[in-house]
Structure 1
Amino acid sequence: MDKTRALSALSALGQEARLDVFRLLVVAGPEGMLAGEVAEALGVLPNTLSSNLSILLAAGLVTRAREGRALRYVADLKGMEALVGYLMEDCCGGRPGLCAPQGLACAC
């Protein structure tokens, strides 16, 4: 990941509603959620949610797939792992292996 992509991801997560969306999708796991389900779960208007999902998508933090007329969104943990990796790459004098556990892979 480069600085521009990292700034995009951090900016996307730096807004309360988008952070809530991302965290909800992390909880949903690899099956993700339909956009309408996300809107209902968070109590947000569909048009507002659509804008926030587009920003998260552009930042590489979510993926989407069309299911008929609906869109399913999934948290992109590889995108988040790339962001954390970028932030930690100079950790411990450039030896990130000495720092906290590596990777965001979960056992779910």
Structure 2
Amino acid sequence: MDKKSALDALAALGQETRLDVFRLLVSAGAGGVPAGEVAARLGAVQNTVSAHLKVLAQAGLVRPERDGRVVRYAADMTGFRDLLSYLIEDCCDGAPELCRPVIDAVTCQC
């Protein structure tokens, strides 16, 4: 991941509703959630949530998948992993073992 991509991802997550959407999709797992259901779960307007999903997708943090007439969104764990890797790539002044607790905390079997 390059600096611009990291900034895009951080900016996308820097808005309250988008952060809520991303966290919901992370907890939902690989199966994702239909866009309308995301809005319902968050008590938000569907058009607004669709706009937030688009920003998150452009930042590489979520991926849409068409299922007939429904679009399901899932967290893009590769994009998220790339962001985390970028943030800690030069960890601890050459002592990456100091970052091991952080790496272990965010590692999942996704």
Same fold (TM over 0.5): yes
Residue in structure 2 matched with residue 28 of structure 1 by the alignment = 28
Contact 1:89 1:95 in 2 (8 A): no
C-alpha deviation, 1:78, in angstroms = 1.1
- TM-score for both structures, normalised by structure 1: 0.92
Greater alpha carbon shift after TM alignment, 48-57 vs 88-97:
88-97
Is the partner of 2:72 in helix, strand or coil?
Answer: strand
Q: Secondary structure at the match of 2:44?
A: coil
In 2, Cα distance between equivalents of 1:23 and 1:65: 18
Structure 2: runs of 5+ lacking an equivalent: none
- What SS does the corresponding residue of 2:63 show, helix, strand or coil? strand
Per-residue deviation at 1:97?
Answer: 4.0
SS at match of 1:80: helix
C-alpha distance in structure 2 between counterparts of 1:13 and 1:83, whole Å: 11
Mapped to 2, the partners of 1:96 and 1:60 lie a distance apart of 26
Secondary structure of residue in 2 paired with 1:100: helix
What's 2:108 paired with?
106
Secondary structure class of the residue paired with 2:100:
coil
The match for 1:11 is: 11
Tell me the distance in 2 between the aligned counterparts of 1:94 and 1:38: 41
Q: CA deviation at 1:77?
A: 1.1
Q: Deviations over 1:58-97 (max 9, x none)?
A: 0000011001111000001111111011010111114434
Q: Extract unaligned runs of 5+ from structure 1.
A: none
Letter in 2 for 1:84: L
User: Percent identity of the aligned residues?
Assistant: 57
Q: Return the letter of the residue paired with 1:76.
A: D
State the aligned residue count. 108
TM-score with structure 2 length normalisation? 0.90
- 1:10-63 deviations in Å (ceiling 9; x for gaps): 000000000000000011011110001101000111110110000000000001
